Structure 1
Amino acid sequence: MSDSDIPPTPDQPPTPDQPPTPDQPPVAQPPIDAPAPAQHSGLTDGQWHRLHPATPLLRGGIALIAILGIIINTLRERFVEMFVGGDGYADDPIDWILREGYVGYALGAIAVALLIFIAGFYLSWRMHTFRITNEVVEVRSGILFRTNRRGRLDRIQGINIVRPFVARLFGAAKLEVNVAGQDANVQLAYLGSAQADELRRDILRLASGTKRAADQASAGANASANGTGSFIDQRVSELLSPELDPNLAPPESVVKMHTGRLLGSIVLNDTAVFLVLLIIASLIAAGTSGQPLLLLGLLPLIIGMGSVLIARFTKSLRYSIAGTPDGVRVGFGLFTTSNETLPPGRIHSIQISQPLLWRPFGWWEMKVNRASKSSTQGASGQQNTTILPVGSLDDVMRVLALMLPGVIREGALDQADEKVALEKVALDGGSLETDALETGALDDSSLETGALDTGALEAAGLLDAGVADVSAPAIDALLLLRNGLTSRGGDDGFVNSPRAAAPLRWFSWRRNGYAFGPSIVLLRKGAVWRELIVVPEPRVQSIALTQGPLERRLGLASLLLHTVAGPITAKLGAVERTRALEFFLTSSRTIVTAASSDTSHRWRSGEDPT
């Protein structure tokens, strides 16, 4: 079936040029030598398209190589015999073919099987087509048994582009559209490398609620740039180019993983610690028993666990997180690269945790709950729900600013700290208070209310420029997040558990609590293994209060925020009963309000496409 045999879809009917009417003056034509307007990827026109021409080789070539490997391994003794001589094999099928003179028939059968094999993959490529309309991404495949998969644009949770090392040599990439639901993803394997990037940009633009006219020029420019140069030059450029295009995101929004920190986090990982303890225990057991052969039994386990740790290290190299106009871009990989764009509003909950061994170094790990599952593993060989395998507190705050753009303004943490510290110092007295009184930023009422005229302080040079722009809700959100990670409890903006919760939370009852921020709910728990869960209010599906017999006797209750399934369970136990009821009433009201006003699923709907 050719592309011309497929009728155009009703989504985008043809619009032939019409001559100007007498009532309407003709439109001015551009000069003949004017450059042609740049085009987009050309794959979102609603028509059916085929995959990369190298797809049969990339999908079937691996199977053919595996079959050849089995054959060569089976005939290795015969190959050795050809060079060093031997007695032969009386019952060998090859000897029988040679003896009976069936060599021609055997070669013909192999040629026919090979042709059928190649024809099958070629027909599979011909019958594998896809199209992108204003509503869906649709894929048709199959020769005898046809399948059809559709993914609605308004249910897209992310778009992942994977470039396996062999596919990179052919300039191909695999694009996967992650759609909400179980086994709902739509995969395009394979597309041209540059074409995959352009198609992702076009799909996200269609899903965002705006038209693609605003970015046609940049897409066309990229397409023309990628089309220049020889095939070898293009492949070398793609292999050596950075994972994230420097022109795609501002440098200040890019969060990269430090290589030394990555290596240290793997060494201090539970798997590595268990492996070291196991080796030490085996050495002690072998030394005391006098049987060194005990170590040989652990050799397969050591090799297996060691290979997992090495793979985790290599897969996390060149890790970066950046903010783009269409969401958060997460990329990683050294030989096989992967980068995924998470559109706004697709993060349902965030978990920030700190293992005990990481605390001296100030390292944290971030995970998220999403409404879809990718077939590709994330960095460090973990699930793609791990957004930041390891990072400092500053990295965590910057990633939170990318994932919660309406709550946190990137770079505002230092400004909020300075503003709060200045207020505290001014109200405590000293030379700064005198200077603030002289500039008019502090008066008698300010001493009572604790408020400062930050604009006057900035004009007087007592406050850095831009600090006055940080609003009070933004300061509250930033300080709540920081206190949720580092505070030991007390009067820090959280509603913490009472002393009666000590029998249930021996070490953590002081910091076990919840807080409300602008459009977010924060749940803090753990003193040995610290943990903070951030849930955007528009993503909450329901709220539950539970109370077991022991909690009932202690006057406590448990809170549970239901979100999509994932590694994070937004649950907080050992909360005072009256505080739990207050949480239920307050969150019920704020969550409904936030959900009704949320427009993040159409994040570009208010933009002018021109």
Structure 2
Amino acid sequence: MVRGWAVLGGALFIIGQQTLDGGPEEGGVIGLLTSPYWWTVPLGLVLVGLIGFGFAALAWRMTTYAVGDETVHLRRGVVFKQQRHARLDRLQAVDVRQPLVARLFGLSELKLEVAGGSDSGIAIGYLRDADASELRNELLARAAGLKSTTPAPVREEHETAGAPDHAGPGADAPAADAPVTAAPEAPEQPVLEVPMGRLIVSLLRTSVTIFFALFIAGLIVTVVVTGTPQVVFAVIAPFIGIGGYLFNRFSTEFAFRVAISADGIRLRHGLLETRAQTIPPGRVQAVSITQGLLWRGRDWWRVQVNVAGYAADAASGTSNVLLPVGTRDEALTVLSLVLPDLGVDDPRAVLEAGLSGDSRTPGPFTGSPRDAVWVDPIGWQRQGFAVTGRALLLRSGRLYRILTVVPHERTQSLGIAAGPLQRRLGLASFEVHSTPGPVSPGVHHLAAADAAELLEEQAARARSARAQAGPERWMEGPR
């Protein structure tokens, strides 16, 4: 029922579109409905529904999964068989999704995000809510290095919890008659919750909303002056696009809650589709704390992260938000969940200099030389970097403030770029290459000597930090 309705909904959308576009004099759906063959429309809908629900039911019957100590297996496919494996020691995040239709049936989809390409994750769905929570706890416990006392059986998606599938994939799958010991859910400590009023006001204080309001005002003026309301239909596409973006932001960030547990950072949010995310310790590759010009009066900030498993959602950014809008203290609190120890005696002073300081503010940041004014007359004084014992901090942006924090052990690669004008002025831009996501670590228009020195020293710090990093299974002790 959860998957099959999409086919029927698509057919209804096409019919509705054709009804609006055509009329009886042009044929179309309206003309067909008023003809003696009107019965073909509901008959076609019934046939499309039967095909959609029938294929969904067959795909449901062909979906099975298995959980081993090291790997999760998923087998599915009707026409083309597919068997996928995900290593638990490469687990980056575990999400429990509940689309609106699935919530009506008490079902959830469990998605495992692993380090890899854009299609490296495994989605197991749909399961009963209790089964999805139990499986999430089991996977997080095994990914942390906690060995189960009894193996988990292979299960079919359509069977009740604990019902075995005797044709499980791979030798890693355990015996079908083994009892199951459910892994207990790690206790969590609530950190903060974003009030709905603050979320609404923050969306109103964005450039997109202002542009949207100006767009509507201009449209109204055009209709009144020209007397042609048909112009509304000519611009309906951008109207829907901008409105859809704002509603999507509100819907996905609604009731946003942050908590911390032994499993990692837990995020819960969503209006129509609810999502419970769990990001295990050490999986965040980079963090950005940003503030737009219209948020400066309230001193609100937005926190986003790069996580290797969320590469597929990097464009939309729906899974990469750690805090949609919060005060300065809340933003720094969320940052401390990712990086509890910044490696300096006074971390607050360093972060304050990164959030709102510039080259005129005393602090640990190395900024751009005065010659940078020729290539960045507005924001050159905000460009700068600082190094602590645990991370590299990069700040930029005069109108749109950005502070990026990259843990040393999460440095993927480094680079220096310099255009013709930069080379003539003795400047260069420094970049940290991270996994795909909304965070793009970099600082522009540094002195060329400072950029070269930072490149050499940061490469050495990254090698040393990776050598001292803890195990991928975070509950295991050092070997």
TM-score (norm 1): 0.63
Residue 475 (structure 2) pairs with residue 604 (structure 1): yes
Q: What is the alpha-carbon distance in structure 1 between the residues aligned to residue 251 and residue 52 of structure 2?
A: 35
- Using the alignment, how far apart are the partners of 1:256 and 1:480 within structure 2? 26
Q: Does structure 2 retain, via aligned residues, the 8 Å contact 1:477–1:517?
A: no
Instruction: Give the corresponding residue for 1:456.
Output: none
1:500 partner amino acid = D
Q: Any residues of structure 2 matched to 1:420-431 within 5 Å, and which?
A: none
Partner of 1:129: 64
Deviation at 1:330, TM superposition (A): 1.4
Question: Which residue of the other structure, out of 339, 356, 366, is the alignment partner of 1:486?
Answer: 356
> Among 353, 378, 383, which residue is 2:290 paired with?
353
Contact 1:374-1:384 within 8 A present in 2 as well: no
CA contact (8 A) 2:195 2:255 kept: no
Q: Say if 1:64 and 1:588 are closer, same or farther in 2 by CA, change over 3 A.
A: closer
Matched, 1:498 2:375: no
Q: Return the alpha-carbon distance in structure 1 between the equivalents of residues 51 and 242 of structure 2.
A: 42
The residue type paired with residue 476 of structure 2 is S
Q: In the superposition, relative to structure 1, how do residues 196 and 542 fare at CA in structure 2: closer, same or farther (>3 Å)?
A: same
Alpha-carbon deviation of 1:357? 1.1
- Counterpart of 1:510 in structure 2 is 381
Q: Is the 8 A contact 1:362 1:392 kept in 2?
A: yes
Shift of 1:167: 1.9
Counterpart of 1:140 (choices 55, 70, 75) is 75
The 3-state SS of whatever aligns with 2:3 is helix
Distance in 2 separating the partners of 1:132 and 1:572: 44
The answer as to 2:37 corresponding to 1:92 is yes
* Matching of residues 233-312 of structure 1 within 5 Å: 248-251=187-190, 254-285=191-222, 289-291=225-227, 293=229, 296-297=232-233, 300=236, 301-302=238-239, 304-312=241-249
Instruction: Tell me how far apart the structure 1 counterparts of residues 294 and 266 of structure 2 sit (CA, whole Å).
Output: 29
| Distance in 1 of aligned mates of 2:128 and 2:314 | 22
1:284, CA displacement in angstroms? 4.5
Aligned residues: 426
User: Once the two structures are superposed, what CA deviation does each residue of 1:69-89 show, in whole Å capped at 9, x if it has no partner?
Assistant: 999999xxxxxxxxxxxxx98
* Structure 2 contact 3–53 (Cα < 8 Å) conserved: no
Where 1:277 maps in the other structure, the secondary structure is helix
Aligned amino acid, residue 102 of structure 2: A
Q: Is the 8 A contact 1:329 1:341 kept in 2?
A: yes
Q: Which amino acid aligns with 1:535?
A: V
Deviation at 1:279, TM superposition (A): 2.6
- Tell me if 1:159 matches 2:98: no
In 1, the alpha carbon distance for the partners of 2:77 and 2:100 equals 27
For 1:185, the equivalent position in structure 2 comes to 121
Matches of 1:197 and 1:580, distance apart in 2: 48
Q: 1:592 aligns with which of 459, 463, 477?
A: 463
- Say if 1:278 and 1:589 are closer, same or farther in 2 by CA, change over 3 A: same
1:495 aligned partner, one-letter code: T
> Using the alignment, how far apart are the partners of 2:57 and 2:220 within structure 1?
57
- Between the aligned partners of 2:127 and 2:268, the Cα distance in structure 1 is 18
SS in 2 for 1:485: helix
One-letter code of the match for 1:265? S
Q: Secondary structure at the match of 2:297?
A: helix
> Which of 489-498 and 182-191 deviates more?
489-498
Give the corresponding residue for 2:434.
563
CA distance in 1, matches of 2:219, 2:392: 47
The answer on 1:59 being equivalent to 2:3 is yes
Residue deviations 1:204-227, cap 9 Å, x none?
Answer: 11112232469x9xxxxxxxxxxx
- How far 1:198 moved relative to its partner? 1.6
Q: CA deviation at 1:545?
A: 2.3
Q: Deviations over 1:496-547 (max 9, x none)?
A: 1121222122133223110011220011111121111111111112222233
Partner of residue 410 from structure 2, selected from 518, 539, 561? 539
Give the Cα–Cα distance (whole angstroms) in 2 for the partners of residues 141 and 246 of structure 1: 28
CA distance in 1, matches of 2:100, 2:38: 38
Equivalent pairs: percent with the same residue?
33
Letter of the 2:356 counterpart: T
Q: Separation in 2 of the partners of 1:93 and 1:120?
A: 27
Contact 1:165 1:336 in 2 (8 A): yes
Whether 1:477 aligns to 2:421 is no
CA, structure 1 residues 391+90, in 2 after alignment: closer, same or farther (shift >3 Å)? closer
**Residues 314 and 438, structure 2, Cα contact 8 Å, conserved in 1:** no
> By percentage of residues, which structure has more strand?
2
> Using a 3 Å threshold, how does the CA distance of structure 1 residues 603 and 167 change in structure 2: closer, same or farther?
same
Match of 1:228 in 2: none
| Residue 149 in structure 1 maps to residue 84 in structure 2 | yes
User: Which digits, 9 at most, give the CA deviation of each residue in 1:153-190, with x for residues without a partner?
Assistant: 12221111011233223221111111222211111111
Supply the distance in 1 between the matched residues of 2:54 and 2:229 (Cα, whole angstroms).
54
Contact 2:107-2:129 within 8 A present in 1 as well: yes
- 5+ residue gaps, structure 1: 1-56, 75-87, 96-105, 217-244, 409-472
For the structure 1 residues 149 and 246, does the alpha-carbon distance in structure 2 shift closer, same or farther, using more than 3 Å as the test?
A: closer
Structure 2 residue runs of 5 or longer lacking an equivalent are 19-32, 153-183
Secondary structure of the 2:295 match is: helix
Contact 2:287–2:304 under 8 Å retained in 1: yes
> Match for 2:142 among 206, 210, 228?
206
**Secondary structure at the counterpart of residue 130 of structure 1:** strand
Q: Deviations over 1:278-333 (max 9, x none)?
A: 2333444556x453637634773445533442343233221112111111111101
Q: How many Å separate the matches in 2 of 1:518 and 1:150?
A: 37
2:394 to 520, 523, 535: 523
| Contact kept in structure 2, 1:163 and 1:338, CA below 8 Å | yes
Structure-1 separation of matches of 2:223 and 2:39: 51
- Using a 3 Å threshold, how does the CA distance of structure 1 residues 70 and 520 change in structure 2: closer, same or farther? closer
Deviation at 1:601, TM superposition (A): 2.3
Instruction: Provide the residue aligned with 2:178 in structure 1.
Output: none
Q: Quick check: which has more Rg, 1 or 2? A: 1
The 3-state SS of whatever aligns with 2:305 is strand
Residues 143 and 577 of structure 1: CA distance in aligned 2, closer, same or farther (over 3 Å): closer
Change (3 A) 1:323 1:581: same
Map 1:314-463 → 2, pairs under 5 A: 314-373=251-310, 382-405=317-340, 407=341
CA–CA distance in 2 between the matches of 1:178 and 1:274? 36
